[in-house]
Amino acid sequence: MSEFHMQIMDIDYIMLENRPVIRIFGRCDDRKTACVLVKGFDPYYYVLPMHGEEAALREFLNKRFQDQVASIEEVERFLPFGYSESPTKLLKIVGKDPSKVKDMRDEIWKEGLAKKIFEADILFKYRYMADKDLHGMRWYKVTGNPVSTSIVKSDRTVELVSMEPAEERPSNLKVMAVDIEISTPEGLPDAKKDPIIMISFAFLPDHAGKNTTVLVAKPTKQAEGVHSFINEAEMLQEFLKTVDSYNPDIITGYNLNNFDMPYIMERLIINGLPRTIGRCTSKSMVSREFAGKTRNSMVGRLIADDYELIKEMQVKTQLADKGFPKLKRYGLGDVSKALLNDTKDDVSHKEIPILWNGSQDDVIRLAEYARKDAELALRLLLEKNLLDKFFEISKVSGVLMQDVLDGGEATRVENILLREFNKRNYLLPLKPSSNEMEKRMNERDALGFKGALVLEPIAGLHTKPVVYLDFKSMYPTIFISFNICPTTFVASESGYKGEVIETPMGAKFVSKSTKIGIVPQIVQHLISERDRLRREAKNTKDERLRKIFESKQIAVKYMTNSFYGYTGYVRARIYSLAVATAVTACGRMLIERTSASVSKHKDMRVIYGDTDSIMVEVNAGDAPGAYVLGTELEKEINKSLEGLVEIKIENVFTSLLILSKKRYAGISMEPRGDEWEEKTVMKGIETVRRDWCDLTGETLNNTLNIILREKNPKKALAYIKEIIIALGKNEIPVEKLVVTKSISKSLKEYKGVQPHIEVMKKMRKRDPSTAPGIGDRIGYVIVHGTQMMSMRAEDPDFVKANNLRVDSKYYIENQILPPLERVFEAIGISKSEVLGAGKMLTIMEAMKNVQKVEKKALGSFEGVMCDKCSQSYRRPPIIGRCDSCGGHLSFFSGDDRSKTANF
């Protein structure tokens, strides 16, 4: 008998002698890998037969699926929708092969023998995990009988005797970063044609005494940590051996999912090599494509793409002020520079084939470049703790790590629901069919769906202090306070006469004394757990532990907030329009009641409210004074809400600029002990964009600062006018006017005329050796001239060297003004006042640039083309003008143009 502690990484199943065997993969606390085999667990589901058809159903199953049905038993369970005092009798059908459950389910429907079917589409691994209460990434004490098998790659393989939760302990996970290099003189790499020339690794912990290794696909001179091979096939064999011998738990890289992994897969196939990179000797790595993204997975290991994790952090958690600044570009070099203060080696994309085909020293230089890439990828994952939040989500929700990274919130919520429903003898419905979804949508059509309340803001600059009050976990608390749950819902036709809680739109739920809903129980547990974790984080002096508690409480917060969105999600199993509507109705009622409380005070007014927060302007001289008033208001509102939900004062804005709903900027003051922490808060206002030059971002930031800090819109306007005048006088440094765009395909694949492509062509003509190529990011400046805009794009160095004049009109109208327009609109300054002299220039230029067009109608045409910038379209845009420059359109056929066509 063998006993050890293991952290669960992955679970799957295989069929052995026509029965499923579950495999649990993980890493033990003695650093060995383990695989636990579980026999004797079968798939099952539930059927509520049509009235009087139970016998017919049994007969049908026994005849049609005699080889697949292990047993049929009568059981009692509660159905998921609507309050019921007693459970319902159903049949529990136990199968022998998880992959046949779907067929059985479909056939039962076709025969018309089932009124309802439950849980016949739960993935077998999650069925097992739910029944045994196993969670991804948690620790378990395993007792098992060692077995010898060649089906898994594991240090120890046992057949399960028992598995119990164990105390959490530090992980021993092994992490390997991978990066590949391809040599393509022209065009983008094509996995079908272009071989991999190098594969670099970075390891933690070390592998064979090394923390990095580079494999090279041709004979090369000796160098530290560089191994050369005759050709790609040999190199790939070594790649496979390295993965096997190192046996990582996590494989990472930058853009691994969409580039390196699929590329490696394709090259393995072409070279006739196996793709069993995971911990199973027979199952290959799987690569799936949807919506232009590739998802890769392998048995027993986690694939974690740094690029995707960083974008997720940026977009979803907006950690701009927590060490994740918003960047214009997300290349490995840019991200490493911003987050690690380190960057890639200085080798450009087009230098790669030159070095590869150069001297031995050149090849080694390229190998060092490749090595650095792998190192940076590993460092990003580990130093920035990119996976911490997801580890905790896996532990809380039970979902396995790869599914946490690849799946959505619905998967996580449903996992929790499955467990909690089953524990209380409730069943989960199937995922909705397309007919069911159509029905749900029609229901929404008929009954309507009102979402959260967003009050119309009082737009403009608020110079009096504004108190920001926030409802603590509003939606989760609403679930609890009103006992809202599909299992407590009282349908009007149910005839239930007991005590109920009625929500603002009329939906009723049984009282808590009758039965506490499952969703409220889940949410209550999560809220309590989060409070506990926050207390632990506050009380601990150990920085490492504090970070762990922080990650855990963030994960719990995400899970808690996911429940509301889930109930209104039409693809959800437990979709309930009544529940989702009830929750938002309660939210709206709370905001309205709060707003009414505030309006009783003559010296206060609500200037904005959004879903679960409210902004109140108060009559105070400073932030501390406003905070005191805000605290009194908080007490008053909480009293009026009678404990339903709690509101809390978060901070005071000493100045606040509201542009529109969900768009504002302000100077926030928040008490920290005896001190006040000041920071600039911006919501919904971008200050960094890829298609902006630096001057744009800088001007916007400075303008906002002047408005907010100096509370002087006129001064801000004067500042912008200075910028416009400086532009007109060519006094702005060229570096600040550079717009960048990447070259993602070959020249011939680009349709139409584009500024960055025109610059590339010019640079190639001038000096082919230094001109940028595919994969490079190219900067350009628009200079003064009469040609269309794209043709006036120029290399910044050339502009400086030749003292060219920039096109001030372009920068004023297309760069500086658009982001500022809303800002000035909100503070009551008209666009014409801002434009001033710039506008006159625009009209005159436009008149000069309109091309002459033919008058004769074209018999047939290829499309329409802009008279100003020559952008072509298959048919006119709805606005009737060119999208890019607002120019008029003419029909064109070859070189012919006309304002009319005959058709």
Which residues of this protein are in contact with other proteins, per CB under 8 A?
290-292, 311-312, 315, 408-410, 441, 444-445, 447-449, 451, 565, 570-571, 662-663, 683-684, 686, 857, 860-861, 864, 874-880, 883, 888-891, 899-903
Q: How far apart are CA 316 and CA 319, in angstroms?
A: 8
- Taking the least distance from each CB to other proteins, the nearer of 192 and 765 is 192
**430: helix, coil or strand?**
coil
250-253 and 302-305: which strand pairing? parallel
Closest CA to 406 of 315, 333, 304: 304
Pick between residue 43 and residue 887 the one whose CB is nearest to other proteins. Answer: 887
State in angstroms the smallest separation of the CB of 493 from other proteins.
Answer: 22
Distance (Å, whole) CA 730 – CA 227: 55
Residue 362 Cβ, how far from other proteins at the closest point, in Å?
Answer: 36
Of 272 and 448, nearer to other proteins (C-beta) is 448
Closer Cβ to other proteins, 6 or 416, answer by number: 416
DSSP for 729-744, please give it.
Answer: TT-S-GGGG-EEEE--
Cis amide prior to 504 (ω within 30 degrees) = no
- In whole angstroms, the minimum distance from the beta carbon of 316 to other proteins comes to 8
The nearest distance, CB 148 to other proteins, in angstroms, is 41
Contact 454, 594 (CB under 8 A): no
- Closer by beta carbon to other proteins, 643 or else 880: 880
Where in 272-431 does DSSP place strands (E)? 286-290, 293-297, 302-305
441 vs 718, beta carbon nearer other proteins: 441
For other proteins, give the closer residue by CB, 23 or 588: 588
In the sheet where 489-490 sits, what is the strand order?
A: 489-490, 508-510, 500-502
C-alpha–C-alpha distance, residues 726 and 419, integer Å: 66
Closest CA to 624 of 393, 765, 467: 467
| CB 355 within 8 Å of CB 367 | no
For residues 288 and 679, which CB has a smaller minimum distance to other proteins in the complex?
288
Minimum Å distance from CB 353 to other proteins? 27
Contact 488/502 with Cβ under 8 angstroms? no
Cβ partners under 8 Å of residue 808, min gap 6 = 724, 727, 728, 730, 784, 838, 841
**In the bound complex, what is the minimum distance in angstroms from residue 410's beta carbon to other proteins?**
8
Provide the strand spans (E) within 748-792. Answer: 777-782
Provide the minimum distance between the beta carbon of 239 and other proteins in the complex, in angstroms, as a whole number: 29
Report the residue number, 185 or 451, with the smaller CB distance to other proteins.
Answer: 451
User: What CA–CA distances, in Å, run from 789 to 785, 810, 840, 850, 880?
Assistant: 9, 8, 19, 13, 20
- Is-contact 466 616, C-beta < 8 A? yes
How many angstroms separate the Cα of 72 from the Cα of each of 45, 46, 103, 333? 10, 10, 17, 60
Closest separation in Å from C-beta 823 to other proteins: 14
| Rounded distance between C-alpha atoms, residue 347 and residue 344, angstroms | 8
For other proteins, give the closer residue by CB, 76 or 883.
883
Residue 421 Cβ vs other proteins, minimum distance, rounded to whole Å: 23
Burial of 680 (0-12, 13-18, 19+ CB in 10 A): middle
**Using CA atoms, how far apart are residues 216 and 214, in angstroms rounded to an integer?**
6
Report, in Å, the least distance between residue 198 CB and other proteins: 29
Shortest Cβ 594–other proteins spacing (Å): 22
Q: What is the DSSP letter of 456?
A: P
Q: In terms of CB distance, is 323 or 408 closer to other proteins?
A: 408
Q: Which is nearer to other proteins, 318 or 770 (CB)?
A: 318
Given the complex with other proteins, which of 208 and 879 has the nearer CB atom? 879
Alpha helices in 449-542 (DSSP H): 474-481, 518-539
| 554: Cβ contacts below 8 Å, ≥ 6 apart | 389, 392
Q: How far apart are CA 473 and CA 106, in angstroms?
A: 41
Q: How far is the CB of 903 from other proteins (least distance, A)?
A: 4
- Rounded to the nearest 10 degrees, how much is the dihedral formed by the CA atoms of 92, 93, 98, 101? -110
Nearer to other proteins, 830 or 902 (CB): 902
Q: CA 431 to CA 146: how far, in whole Å? A: 39
Map residue 441 onto helix, strand or coil: helix
Q: Rg of the chain over CA atoms, in angstroms? A: 32
* Residue 434 or 769 with smaller CB distance to other proteins: 434
d(Cα 120, Cα 101) in Å, to the nearest integer? 7
Strand partners, 467: 616, 652
Min dist. Cβ of residue 431 to other proteins (A) = 11
Closest distance between other proteins and the C-beta of residue 560, in Å?
15
Residues contacting residue 684 through CB under 8 Å, at least 6 positions apart: 659, 662, 663, 664
Least distance CB 861 / other proteins (angstroms): 7
- Closest distance to other proteins from the beta carbon of 315 (Å): 5
In the block, residue with structure tokens 């994969």: 775
CB of 222 to other proteins, least distance (A): 44
Q: Tell me, what amino acid is at 872?
A: S
Measured from the CB atom, the residue of 147 and 437 that comes closer to other proteins is 437
Q: Which is nearer to other proteins, 291 or 843 (CB)?
A: 291
Distance CA 784, CA 790 (A): 11
Please give the torsion angle defined by the CA atoms of residues 847, 850, 852 and 853, in that order, rounded to the nearest 10 degrees. Answer: -130
Cα–Cα dist 535/549, whole Å: 9
Closer Cβ to other proteins, 449 or 499, answer by number: 449
- Dihedral sign, CA of 302, 305, 308, 313? positive
Q: Cβ of residue 409: shortest distance to other proteins, in angstroms?
A: 6
